């Protein structure tokens, strides 16, 4: 290897990018001045935070997230016990863990394939390509409410591959590209619209509580998220209509033959569905009952259990109950499907809310003082649109969690500094931000699912125009949904 090649390799290496992030951290520590609300502890936190953000974007979101936790202690920003309790010990980490386990169990027992088969075999679908695509993507939305987005994406990706093989549709065909991208689009909307087993909504729920003191429940989020999924389905179909692929192959699809080759749901799958529906009911119904004033005693008790504990009990039951001579849930097999790196990363994100909102750092006050003169006179909806566009743009090229965190803190700081912005509107901004930062479809670096499509099945070249059409429509729909969200949230929270 030549010296020039070795030099080029070093400048593009992980080691160089890591050293660059560390150098940026030290420079920021030296040049950011205290004052305007920012304390010396806040300066150290910003230096560590920005350095780790560079690592997350340029190097890795796994070991860098663990390093971030350690640096909070090294930088004397948090005590070790408090740091671990607020990160790995955060209830959101446990919540994602247990719901992901349930999702894996449902997949392994053929539940997802069975639900999809039901949707696409409705009588009105036969011979109607757009009706078929509507019901196919609707199935993705329905099962996606309860499953981790990565798990459900894999299921539908495999179904599309089988479908296109039966249809004889090649990779460069417009219909093939639309089906693949449609799967990606739906998955992005789900990732922001429902908090069950989803990373970004749960991170935002935790940060909202840290920054404003308001707890957003699953029921409240779903009250706006599920209707938005209907809007999102219309957006996906509208985008495909505008692209206008040749759908004649779908018109001649033998649905019965396709379903015959689909894995069947096991007896254990039926039991797993019942267990999952009970968990969801126990999580959401008590909140509704308390609102209307019935079964208040038992509802208060169930609300006190939190969101994760009912799922824990269901997991134990599924491990004990046997069907077809084996446990409904093979715990060892399911736990291997839960990405540990993802849980640590979530812990790293959740702990941010503590120093960001702490008077000991003064970061939130500092941000408010800086941003208020810039955005203070702007209409609230224009500020929301600005932040959603920023998140939508940046999320196309970096991990979608990064823009979600960045623009949530910026937006909340602006609104708190302005005064007079209602809590329901701040929550509306946060919910729509979860969607906007999840619409990552242009580049393979955007999310954990995009490289499964862009590269193996489509290219950035043949998908860019299609993606832009979708993103424009989706952005308009997301901004328009903010006041609707605020109105619904005001029914729960008031103000």
Q: Does 401 have pLDDT greater than 90? A: no
Q: Are residues 96 and 64 in the same domain?
A: no
Q: Are residues 220 and 288 in the same domain?
A: yes
- Domain-ending residue, one of 28, 58, 86: 86
Reported as a single tens digit per residue, the pLDDT across 6-49 is 555 655 577 888 888 889 999 999 999 988 888 999 999 999 98
Q: Are residues 51 and 155 in the same domain?
A: no
Handedness of CA 487, 488, 491, 495 (dihedral sign): negative
In the prediction, which pLDDT does 374 show? 74
- 461 exposure class (CB count in 10 Å sphere: 0-12, 13-18, 19+): exposed
Reported as a single tens digit per residue, the pLDDT across 163-180 is 898 889 998 899 999 999
What is the DSSP-derived secondary structure letter of residue 402?
Answer: H
In the prediction, which pLDDT does 67 show? 87
Placement of tokens 């619409």 in the chain: 439
Q: Are residues 468 and 423 in the same domain?
A: yes
- Listed in sequence order, the DSSP H helices in 395-444 are 401-418, 423-436
Q: Are residues 276 and 230 in the same domain?
A: yes
Reported as a single tens digit per residue, the pLDDT across 260-313 is 777 788 899 999 989 988 988 888 788 778 878 888 888 889 888 877 899 899
Tokens of 121: 């075999």
Q: Are residues 39 and 173 in the same domain?
A: no
Tokens of 477: 């729909």
Q: Are residues 77 and 161 in the same domain?
A: no
CA 267 to CA 89: how far, in whole Å?
35
Distance linking the first and last C-alpha atoms of the chain? 67
Report pTM.
0.73
- In terms of Cα–Cα distance, which of 228, 236, 231 is closest to 137? 236
In Å, what is the CA distance from 264 to each residue of 69, 105, 139, 216? 44, 14, 16, 38
Taking CA 195 as the corner, what is the angle to CA 191 and CA 199, rounded to the nearest 5 degrees? 60
- Domain-ending residue, one of 86, 113, 141: 86
In the prediction, which pLDDT does 188 show? 92
- N residues, the chain: 495
* Number of domains into which the chain is organized: 2
Q: Which domain holds residue 51?
A: 1-86
**CB of 201 within 8 A of CB of 434?**
yes
Q: Are residues 204 and 296 in the same domain?
A: yes
Instruction: Report the C-alpha dihedral over residues 8, 11, 15, 17, rounded to 10 degrees.
Output: -150
Reported as a single tens digit per residue, the pLDDT across 468-482 is 999 999 999 999 999
Query: How much is the average pLDDT of 370-381?
Result: 78
Q: Are residues 75 and 124 in the same domain?
A: no
List 454's β-bridge partners, or say none: 458
In Å, what is the CA distance from 472 to each residue of 238, 242, 479? 12, 12, 11
Reported as a single tens digit per residue, the pLDDT across 346-358 is 777 677 767 877 8
Q: Are residues 329 and 463 in the same domain?
A: yes
Least confident of 52-66, 227-241, 316-330: 52-66
Identify the residue with better confidence: 109 or 493: 109
**CB of 44 within 8 A of CB of 77?**
yes
């Amino acid at each position: 290897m030549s010296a020039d090649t070795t030099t080029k390799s070093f400048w593009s290496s992980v080691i160089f990018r890591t050293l660059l992030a560390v150098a940026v951290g030290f420079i920021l520590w030296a040049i950011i001045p205290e004052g305007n609300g920012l304390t010396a502890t806040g300066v150290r936190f910003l230096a560590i935070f920005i350095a780790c953000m560079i690592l997350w974007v340029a190097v890795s979101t796994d070991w860098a997230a663990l390093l971030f936790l350690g640096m909070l202690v090294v930088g004397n920003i948090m005590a070790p016990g408090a740091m671990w309790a607020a990160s790995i010990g955060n209830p959101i980490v446990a919540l994602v863990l247990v719901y992901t386990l349930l999702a894996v169990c449902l997949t392994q027992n053929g539940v997802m394939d069975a639900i999809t088969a039901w949707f696409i075999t409705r009588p009105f679908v036969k011979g109607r390509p757009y009706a078929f695509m509507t019901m196919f993507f609707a199935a993705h939305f329905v099962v996606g409410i309860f499953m981790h987005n990565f798990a459900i994406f894999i299921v539908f990706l495999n179904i599309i591959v089988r479908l296109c093989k039966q249809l004889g549709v090649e990779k460069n065909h417009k219909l093939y590209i639309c089906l693949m991208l449609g799967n990606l689009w739906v998955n992005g909307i789900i990732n922001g619209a429902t908090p069950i087993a989803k990373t970004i909504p749960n991170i935002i729920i935790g940060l909202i509580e840290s920054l404003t003191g308001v707890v957003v429940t699953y029921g409240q989020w779903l009250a706006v998220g599920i209707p938005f999924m209907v809007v999102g389905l219309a957006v996906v179909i509208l985008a495909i209509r505008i692209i206008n692929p040749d759908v004649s192959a779908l018109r001649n699809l033998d649905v019965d033959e396709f379903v015959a080759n689909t894995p069947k749901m096991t007896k254990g799958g039926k039991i797993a569905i019942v267990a999952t529906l009970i968990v969801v009911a126990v999580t959401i119904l008590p909140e509704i009952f308390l609102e209307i004033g019935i079964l208040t005693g038992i509802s208060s008790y169930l609300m006190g259990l939190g969101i994760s504990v009912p799922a824990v009990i269901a997991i134990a039951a599924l491990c004990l109950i046997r069907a077809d001579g084996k446990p409904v849930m093979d715990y060892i097999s399911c736990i291997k499907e839960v990405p540990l790196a993802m849980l640590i990363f979530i812990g790293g994100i959740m702990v941010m809310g503590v120093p960001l909102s702490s008077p000991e750092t003064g970061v939130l006050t500092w941000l408010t003082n800086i941003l208020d003169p810039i955005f203070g006179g702007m209409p609230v909806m224009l500020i929301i649109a600005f932040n959603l566009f920023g998140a939508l743009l940046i999320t196309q090229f970096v991990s979608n969690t990064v823009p979600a965190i960045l623009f949530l803190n910026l937006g909340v700081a602006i609104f708190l500094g302005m005064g007079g912005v209602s809590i329901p509107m701040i929550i509306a901004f946060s919910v729509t931000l979860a969607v906007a930062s999840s619409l990552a479809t242009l580049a393979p670096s955007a999310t954990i699912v995009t490289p499964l499509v862009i590269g193996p099945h489509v290219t950035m070249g043949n998908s860019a125009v299609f993606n832009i059409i979708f993103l424009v429509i989706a952005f308009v729909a997301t901004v328009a949904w903010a006041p609707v969200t605020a109105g619904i949230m005001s029914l729960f929270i008031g103000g």
